[in-house]
Structure 1
Amino acid sequence: MPHTADRLTALAEGMLGRPMPIRIRAWDGSEAGPPDGPTLVVRNRRALRRLLWKPGELGFARGWVSGDLDVDGDLYEALGRLTGVALHRDEPVPGAGRVPAGAVTAAARARLADRARRTAAALRPIGEALTLTGLPLPPPAPAEEVRRRHGMLHSLRRDQEAIRHHYDVGNDFYALILGPSMVYSCAYWDRPDATLEDAQRAKLDLICRKLALRPGMRLLDVGCGWGSMALHAAEHYGVQVVGITLSREQADLARKRVSEAGLTGRVEIRVQDYREHADGPYDAISSIGMAEHVGRVRYREYADTLYDLLRPGGRLLNHQISRRPAPDEEAYQVDEFIDRYVFPDGELAPLGSTVSVLEEAGFEVRDVQALREHYATTLRAWVANLEAAQPQAAKLTTMGRVRVWRLYMAASALSFEQNRIGVNQILAVKTPESGRSGMPPTRVL
């Protein structure tokens, strides 16, 4: 009779419709699959039950977070092999060109037909799967997963709960990952010997220069995090800053940092939703890694609100992760793992959609800078920090939370490297009726 690992490999290949790209080690110590590279460790039958009840990404995530699944070897290589299969089978090829008229409906039909074929293929070995899993009851989801949500999507209350799920897991935990900069967004690696701290400082300075900050100006930092942008702008550019966040833990540490820097009179940190902020006009607004939380249903409101808060001639720097356009945007669904474990209710939009909504709100978009490769490098630095401090991080939160962040950041690094997602700085101006934008005639910053 075949070893357990052989049976698992045959089962996986039957569901995938192609050879298993990674070696498997089962709970009985047996192994099967490619001899080179990393190994997927299936620690117990419960891991298989998770995959049986939630085939695909969410089942894998639950197995990983709970520790029922693990990787022996290079995590990046393992994820790269596994996502390579997923990309080949399910995802549109990046850069494949424009979708012809009528192709959306055809693509939707093709996806449904493919899903039906895959479902049938998955059902054929169901007897084998049940034999391997033992008692076929669904295991409970790990405690780190968000299951209950209150209120309408992107209401004030629900957005507050979502933000606190992600950010209020402990400032000390984030400090281990982010380092002294406490900047939780893509760094700007402007020289080969730069450290993470150097690159985050360069990113903050790049934004200040794009906004043309000068002493006496008023800056609103939307989604201010732990106050790093506000501190940099006030200290190095002499501006008055108001930073807003929905995370009380972030606000507490940001205020402490402001006080320690002697900038209390020049930086104010508030726990406040952008929709409730009415203290304009501002000379400039920075929104760094915040718009991903806004959602499609609120994005025009977000753009309108920021436009109204700026004075004529004021600038907005919108730093935001983007996704590739989907063949059928109405059928687009958020990533299940990210939605359940990392950023509840977060949504990514294509770059073109973001630019269009900003223009519809009245902004003149003057510059777009892609930083995709920079984010991959940033994420790898964060993963290295987390791995180096894993025991301490687990004491500060839970081992499940540590596993969530490690998987999320490593997988995200690969997504940026593979051009499945990007990140862009959009510089926009509230151009006055005179048409004088105040922008320099060249792109030298």
Structure 2
Amino acid sequence: MAPDAAHRLAALAAQALGTPLPLRLRAWDGSETGPQDTPVLVVRSRRALRRLLWHPGELGLARAWVAGEIDVEGDLYDALDRLTAVVPDGGGRDLGRRMVRDGTALRIAAGLIRLAGPGVPPPPPAEESRRRGEAHTKRRDRAAISHHYDVGNEFYARVLGPSMVYSCAYWDRADGSLEDAQYAKLDLICRKLALRPGQHLLDIGCGWGSLVLHAAQHYGVRATGITISVEQADLARKRAAEAGLTDRVEIRVQDYRDVHDGPYDAISSVGMAEHVGQVRYREYAEILHRLVKPGGRLLNHQIARRPLADEAGYRVDEFIDRYVFPDGELSPVGSTVSSLEQAGFEVRDLEALREHYALTLRAWVRNLEEHFAEAERLTSRGRARVWRLYMAASALGFERNSIGVNQVLAVRTEGDGASSMPLVRGSWS
């Protein structure tokens, strides 16, 4: 019998999607079908189908991708773009509900069973997070942060480049360098906070120390950075020592809920609030308000999702939750602003940087792809695959306006209403 797995899979996919698969498909038996001149979706093993049968939707696909049982040959962005165009906005969950309603789910499952053959799926890839206990406790947050960040500083150096900044850069032109754009972002934050010599900055979620080093070196402040990633803290301290800044830069392995000194002249929180969780966000905002001096400023840089008609229906993407940011949650920017104001801050400026993050992610994907074999060696093949898919898909998300990122500048206004803010925007001091 001639190989026909690809044709049978393509027919099942067309039933599920309600339209032909927009990619060429190659199966484990060597068969191919579908349009020419498109990226090729490669199903390397029947194990991928077994994963889908046991965990339909995003989780089964994620496990198959991480394990290398499915892959894409050709332009990954183009492949994701084509697939997104035919999958409902709600992703796998909405697709699954539709198939149940119209009666195709059982027929597709039966077809997959015949193709997959006997057997159960292998265990989940080792890169999948394992969590215990209540979400957003200090213990579980430490484990979640360690899963994402404690995977090797050398791996992150290959992806992020020399700046070691893991957040959206600030591009004055699209063809500029990543390093210049990250320098511009660090400097923009310092200017928005109106930092000046002698002040004390607290950077919550300081990563590998790039912002505190920039602030100390170029603005003459004392800077304290906190992180709950041991590997990040080790490298941040080493970088401070190499820069001769140990007298002005302190790096602590510390949860934001355990900071009881201060008050600080200014606080930055860049790419950290996404880890806080809705249940803790008001507490987070109140802690920041307590830690900054009256008249002091907060710069909160945070990824945002679009608001839903029914916010109770918000669910984190399973691939992101299991393999990238365990327990991470995104909020609409309006919710972030409201929480900061409820905690006592006066919000004075909001700058949307959505397009900047798309450019940043594409630069990181280029870095990863250029060093992919080395990235596999430094971590694991599965983790390198996780990061490539997550960053490419996120770049498209920012480009399509399904997610955004914003810098919110807020002030702990004085009792008499004085804010220390300039009358006109553009000059931050």
Q: Same fold (TM over 0.5)?
A: yes
Name 1:90's counterpart in structure 2: 90
Q: Quick one: distance in 1 between partners of 2:276 and 2:90?
A: 27
Name 2:396's counterpart in structure 1: 414
Name 1:100's counterpart in structure 2: none
Name 2:367's counterpart in structure 1: 385
Name 1:24's counterpart in structure 2: 25
Letter in 2 for 1:117: R
Name 1:55's counterpart in structure 2: 56
Q: Which runs of structure 2 are paired with 1:274-423 in the superposition (5 Å)?
A: 274-423=256-405
Structure 1 segments unaligned to the other structure (5+ residues)? 92-107
Task: Say whether 1:181 aligns with 2:163.
Answer: yes
Structure-2 change in CA distance of 1:330 and 1:270 (3 Å)? same
TM-superposed CA distance for 1:17, in Å, is 1.9
Structure-2 change in CA distance of 1:31 and 1:344 (3 Å)? same
TM-superposed CA distance for 1:36, in Å, is 2.4
Q: Which runs of structure 2 are paired with 1:103-252 in the superposition (5 Å)?
A: 114=98, 116-117=100-101, 120-146=103-129, 148-252=130-234
TM-superposed CA distance for 1:56, in Å, is 1.9
Q: Quick one: distance in 1 between partners of 2:393 and 2:296?
A: 37
Structure 2 segments unaligned to the other structure (5+ residues)? none
Name 1:440's counterpart in structure 2: 422
TM-superposed CA distance for 1:206, in Å, is 0.2
Q: Quick one: distance in 2 between partners of 1:236 and 1:228?
A: 12
Name 2:47's counterpart in structure 1: 46
Q: Quick one: distance in 1 between partners of 2:28 and 2:10?
A: 13
Q: Quick one: distance in 2 between partners of 1:153 and 1:393?
A: 30
Q: Percent identity?
A: 69
Q: Quick one: distance in 2 between partners of 1:326 and 1:84?
A: 20
CA RMSD of aligned residues (A): 1.6
Q: Quick one: distance in 2 between partners of 1:115 and 1:330?
A: 23
User: Once the two structures are superposed, what CA deviation does each residue of 1:250-275 show, in whole Å capped at 9, x if it has no partner?
Assistant: 00000000001000010000000000
TM-superposed CA distance for 1:52, in Å, is 2.0
Structure-2 change in CA distance of 1:48 and 1:73 (3 Å)? same
Structure-2 change in CA distance of 1:293 and 1:306 (3 Å)? same
1:428 to 397, 410, 418: 410
Letter in 1 for 2:414: P
Contact kept in structure 2, 1:43 and 1:69, CA below 8 Å: yes
Q: Quick one: distance in 1 between partners of 2:392 and 2:409?
A: 29
- Which secondary structure does the structure 1 equivalent of 2:289 belong to? helix
- Which secondary structure does the structure 2 equivalent of 1:422 belong to? strand
- Which secondary structure does the structure 2 equivalent of 1:125 belong to? helix
TM-superposed CA distance for 1:113, in Å, is 6.5
With normalisation by structure 2, the TM-score equals 0.96
Contact kept in structure 1, 2:16 and 2:99, CA below 8 Å: no
TM-superposed CA distance for 1:313, in Å, is 0.5
Structure-2 change in CA distance of 1:361 and 1:111 (3 Å)? farther
Q: Quick one: distance in 1 between partners of 2:97 and 2:145?
A: 37
Structure-2 change in CA distance of 1:112 and 1:326 (3 Å)? farther
TM-superposed CA distance for 1:369, in Å, is 0.4
Contact kept in structure 1, 2:66 and 2:382, CA below 8 Å: yes
Task: Say whether 1:6 aligns with 2:12.
Answer: no
Contact kept in structure 1, 2:17 and 2:95, CA below 8 Å: no
TM-superposed CA distance for 1:170, in Å, is 0.3
